[in-house]
Structure 1
Amino acid sequence: MSQLTTVDATFLYAEGGGVLAHIAGLGVLDATGCPGGRLTPERVAELVRARAHLAPRPLRQRLVRVPLDLDRPYWEDDPDFDPARHVTEVSLPSPGSDRQLMDVVAELHERPLDRSRPLWEMTLIQGLAGGRTGLYVKVHHAAVDGVLAAETLAALLDLSPEARELPADESVPARAPETADMVSAGLLRTVAHPVRAVLSVARIAPYLDEVPGLSSIPGAARVASFAQGVLGRRPLPPLPPAPRLTAPLTPFNLPIGRHRAVAVGELPLAEIKRIGRSLGGSVNDVVMALCATALRQWLDKRGELPDGPLVAGVPVSLRRGGPDGDEGNRVSMMTAPLATHEADPAARFAAVRRDMGQVKRRFLASSGRWVREVAGLVPAPLAGPAARLALWAAPALPLRPVNLVVSNVPGPQFPLFLCGARVLRYYPVSVVTDLSGGLNITVFSYDGKMNIGIVACRDLIPDPAELVDHLVDALDELTALSENAPAS
């Protein structure tokens, strides 16, 4: 038995209107190695049944709500768990095109998960050209962060077409506390909450200038510096000041609707690494620079290019290796300028590398703990309405926290197999909200490729495939820049 953390619960509370808080991925598989040359829902469901106990967040766990939402929900094993209820199949008119595939994925991504059962779904998409099969996998962010999602998927995958030997399932079914125990614990936690909230504010204060949105308020840096001195947390040597960021208004920073648009693409990972070495930056620096260039082109084409930089939210895993225990989401976020206002490619890359270095140095001081502290400021009975109100009001705020989310997730550089089918590509499909913007760009490196997954509110960006094209153009630009760079 375990209880959702404050961060886990925030992903539940945030859902409503056009906001859905599940993360997903689209695998493209070569199923010719499967019996009959076809991957079936029955085979996938049987695989999940055999391996559910290997996942870091067991795939058979469901939510149990506390009466009147007096406390955060609990996890327990679903006594009626049946993987077949979670694995479905759709077919495209053969040969299915990539555009048809994206339309199906967008439609699937618009559907909320059923909270009465374990919070995940898989959909096989048959009929793709070339004999390929799509596999759309969706799991709620309340259950896993990006790292746990990858580990959960890894539990189902093999290093060869032959299935590996599995350890026996010796786990004991987890059960939530009795209703009376949940209510009493929730009441005690609510009574003690004011003290915990004051302590959280004290822990947040030294890093106030790192919190998205708050960092742009005049005086935030002075308050943070004062708190560091008072609480004895002033780092030595002093860290560079956090950049004071105000996200400008863009076409994707308006209220989001219920519909999604999805686009995917890929770039050669070896070339991205080579560019980083040539220009003196990391792979992540190159990814951020590519996004800056692509967004600049997209905005400039529409006459919407701001005079200053965009502001990107950059998710960061707080997992440092080794056993973490059942601690739920361990993720934070950096806010970084994206130098979309720089016309010169060399100046744009230099600005991105400089800004990312400064933001990372600041982030290391707090280790991103402010996310958990902020999530726990409101008592559980009020946390749901407060989260939804914040998201509803976000587009009207004069100080936007970020324009979009950009995430770079490293993955395995060798092929993986599902039920004997080789995974050719795996594209991330993430979350958009009113608070983080109606656009999310996530890249996942796998088997020599940088796989791009772009999710947008369809009302704001009807065709995100245009951004994929701009990313390809941006790579060509950086390639030319790196080839003309002086030898180090």
Structure 2
Amino acid sequence: MSERLRPRDLAFLAEETAQTPMHNATIEIFDPGESGFDHERLMELIQDRISFVPRYRQRLQSVPGQLANPVWVDDAHFDLGYHVRRSALPRPGSLDQLRELVSRIVSRPLDRSRPLWEIYFVEGLSEGRVALLSKTHQVLVDGVETVDLGQVLLDTSPTPRSMESDDWYARRAPSPFTLLAGAVKDSLTEPDTLVDTVRTRTDAALRTAGAATANARRVANALSGRRPVRTSPISGSLSQQRRVVTVDTPLADYRTIRAAHGGTVNDVILATIAGGLRGWLMTRAESMGGIRQIRAVVPVSVIDAELEATSLGSQIAAHFVDLPILEASPVVRLHQVSYSFQAHKEAGRGVAANRLAGIAGFAPTTFHAIGSRVAAHERRSYQLSITNVPGPQSPLYAAGAEMVSSYPVPPLLPGHPLAIGVTSYNGRVFYGITADRDQMPDADLLGTCITESLDELMDASSGTRVRALRGRKRTPRSTAKKP
């Protein structure tokens, strides 16, 4: 019998609307060089390696009468050309034009009647470069049974790995009678199946009631002329359109700041985001008088046997941190962020960034997908989701073309018009900011403020002597005066 969709995955489908498409995306820019990397070579590459992620050739099949959760079945009409699409910018295409194209593509939900992924090959960028935009639904990549397709497309050298492709044939889809028989059998032999079905129906009823209540409230506010009260500048109802912002910064700057003030590169990144949010809010007409901090969820890699194991060699847990946006000093902001992670470090559960990036076959895209899943389950406990993934610090290649940058594009959850993803790769730190187009028309300004926040931390570190003698005990002077 085909594998049945788990309740937590079905929740992503149930909560998906035109305003909240539940897919992760990634922008990867490549320099083809002499490799001849084009749309045809990409098609060949995916055809050779898609067998390592068989879920990418499967679709969801519902059970008649909803007696059990849907099952994964092979797509008998699988068409690789439908999923791998070709697009272009007017030459020489700029990064701004690429971001606008990406914003429009990620605003559209995926077709549920087909395997839940798409890849766009974008030509026409300046300097002869090309970009890959991948969209993958959150139910597709769980890090347990399935990893992201991008994880198997990249190589560590310009010479592609030799990987045998399979002669794939779709298995016959189960008939309605077979689906019903399987549902009854699973309910009798596996009690969890019946529990999952009841829980799914109950959750769906609660979500429907909650959505009806929210719609009635919006209509009442509109008729009375009242505007909905916003508890945070980064909360509110979402539109169907997105705005994507990218920021490219040098990893050396974060290491310099860490050496001057202590902490980790992750602490510096979060302090940079805190400073960027502070600067962005100060440029708006909104007052910061009542806003002291923004609560963020930062999925982290941990070693915890009580959590679900992943293919990344560790588990992923939610860590909450209050970003001190009211604090004017960039150094104090950094120390406050570092302190919030101190308990996590002392518990011994954390996985070091260099160890995580050194896992064989590790790809940031999979970690971002799992981090988004963790954030979705905790969305009522925070205001902002930040996924920060340490990637490899050496070049990666696709069909011989070097990847020069990688920007995550995290999804937006209901009531959360802003999400930030960060990937460090080959000496750079890449920010991907997803914002609701209506709620945050000035999202580009937030990207500028993040860059200025990093500059502010660098200025605060230039006058600080790097702790070259860290760990050495200082001998007290005998002539020191007593207080």
Alignment partner of 2:149: what SS? helix
Q: How does 1:5-154 map to 2 (within 5 A)?
A: 5-35=6-36, 39-40=38-39, 42-55=40-53, 58-145=55-142, 152-154=149-151
Deviation at 1:70, TM superposition (A): 3.4
Instruction: Determine the structure 2 residue equivalent to 1:343.
Output: 328
Gaps of at least 5 residues in structure 1 are 198-247, 366-390, 395-399
Deviation at 1:77, TM superposition (A): 2.6
Deviation at 1:195, TM superposition (A): 13
User: C-alpha deviations, 1:365-411, integer Å up to 9, x for none?
Assistant: 9xxxxxxxxxxxxxxxxxxxxxxxxx9xx9xxxxx522111110111
Alignment partner of 2:113: what SS? coil
Q: Tell me if structure 2 keeps the 8 A contact 1:336–1:359.
A: no
What is the alpha-carbon distance in structure 2 between the residues aligned to residue 462 and residue 129 of structure 1? Answer: 26
The one of 457, 461, 466 equivalent to 1:482 is 461
Deviation at 1:53, TM superposition (A): 1.4
The one of 246, 251, 256 equivalent to 1:264 is 246
Deviation at 1:24, TM superposition (A): 0.7
What is the alpha-carbon distance in structure 1 between the residues aligned to residue 41 and residue 298 of structure 2? Answer: 37
Q: Tell me if structure 2 keeps the 8 A contact 1:253–1:434.
A: no
Structure 1 residue 301 corresponds to structure 2 residue 283: yes
Alignment partner of 2:338: what SS? helix
Q: Tell me if structure 1 keeps the 8 A contact 2:26–2:406.
A: yes
What is the alpha-carbon distance in structure 2 between the residues aligned to residue 452 and residue 483 of structure 1? Answer: 24
Q: Tell me if structure 1 keeps the 8 A contact 2:303–2:349.
A: no
Q: How does 1:136-285 map to 2 (within 5 A)?
A: 136-145=133-142, 152-167=149-164, 169=166, 178-185=178-185, 193=195, 249-285=231-267
What is the alpha-carbon distance in structure 1 between the residues aligned to residue 172 and residue 322 of structure 2? Answer: 45
Identity of aligned residues (%): 34
What is the alpha-carbon distance in structure 2 between the residues aligned to residue 51 and residue 258 of structure 1? Answer: 34
What is the alpha-carbon distance in structure 2 between the residues aligned to residue 72 and residue 326 of structure 1? Answer: 24
Deviation at 1:483, TM superposition (A): 3.1
Deviation at 1:176, TM superposition (A): 7.0
The residue type paired with residue 25 of structure 1 is: T
Deviation at 1:438, TM superposition (A): 0.7
Q: How does 1:406-425 map to 2 (within 5 A)?
A: 406-425=386-405
Instruction: Determine the structure 2 residue equivalent to 1:206.
Output: none
What is the alpha-carbon distance in structure 1 between the residues aligned to residue 164 and residue 197 of structure 2? Answer: 45
Deviation at 1:140, TM superposition (A): 0.6
Q: Tell me if structure 2 keeps the 8 A contact 1:427–1:453.
A: yes
Alignment partner of 1:135: what SS? strand
Larger Rg: 2
Instruction: Determine the structure 1 residue equivalent to 2:441.
Output: 462
Bigger drift between 145-154 and 158-167 goes to 145-154
What is the alpha-carbon distance in structure 2 between the residues aligned to residue 84 and residue 24 of structure 1? Answer: 19
Alignment partner of 1:13: what SS? helix
Q: Tell me if structure 2 keeps the 8 A contact 1:33–1:161.
A: no
What is the alpha-carbon distance in structure 2 between the residues aligned to residue 473 and residue 72 of structure 1? Answer: 49
Query: What is the Cα-based RMSD across aligned positions, in Å?
Result: 3.3
TM-score (norm 1): 0.73
Deviation at 1:97, TM superposition (A): 1.8
What is the alpha-carbon distance in structure 2 between the residues aligned to residue 175 and residue 324 of structure 1? Answer: 31
- The change in CA–CA distance for 1:138 and 1:412 in structure 2 (over 3 A counts) is same
User: C-alpha deviations, 1:401-442, integer Å up to 9, x for none?
Assistant: 22111110111211122222221111101111124x110110
- The change in CA–CA distance for 1:34 and 1:340 in structure 2 (over 3 A counts) is same
What is the alpha-carbon distance in structure 2 between the residues aligned to residue 452 and residue 346 of structure 1? Answer: 21
Instruction: Determine the structure 2 residue equivalent to 1:315.
Output: 299
What is the alpha-carbon distance in structure 1 between the residues aligned to residue 63 and residue 319 of structure 2? Answer: 33
What is the alpha-carbon distance in structure 2 between the residues aligned to residue 167 and residue 137 of structure 1? Answer: 23
Deviation at 1:443, TM superposition (A): 0.5
Deviation at 1:279, TM superposition (A): 1.6
Alignment partner of 1:100: what SS? helix
What is the alpha-carbon distance in structure 2 between the residues aligned to residue 194 and residue 156 of structure 1? Answer: 35
Alignment partner of 1:23: what SS? strand
User: C-alpha deviations, 1:322-377, integer Å up to 9, x for none?
Assistant: x95899x9754222211112122222111111123346668959xxxxxxxxxxxx
Q: Tell me if structure 1 keeps the 8 A contact 2:31–2:401.
A: yes
Q: Tell me if structure 2 keeps the 8 A contact 1:70–1:186.
A: no
Deviation at 1:104, TM superposition (A): 0.3
Instruction: Determine the structure 1 residue equivalent to 2:273.
Output: 291
What is the alpha-carbon distance in structure 1 between the residues aligned to residue 421 and residue 146 of structure 2? Answer: 14
What is the alpha-carbon distance in structure 2 between the residues aligned to residue 318 and residue 113 of structure 1? Answer: 32
Instruction: Determine the structure 2 residue equivalent to 1:439.
Output: 418
The residue type paired with residue 134 of structure 1 is: A
What is the alpha-carbon distance in structure 1 between the residues aligned to residue 170 and residue 311 of structure 2? Answer: 15
Q: Tell me if structure 1 keeps the 8 A contact 2:302–2:349.
A: no
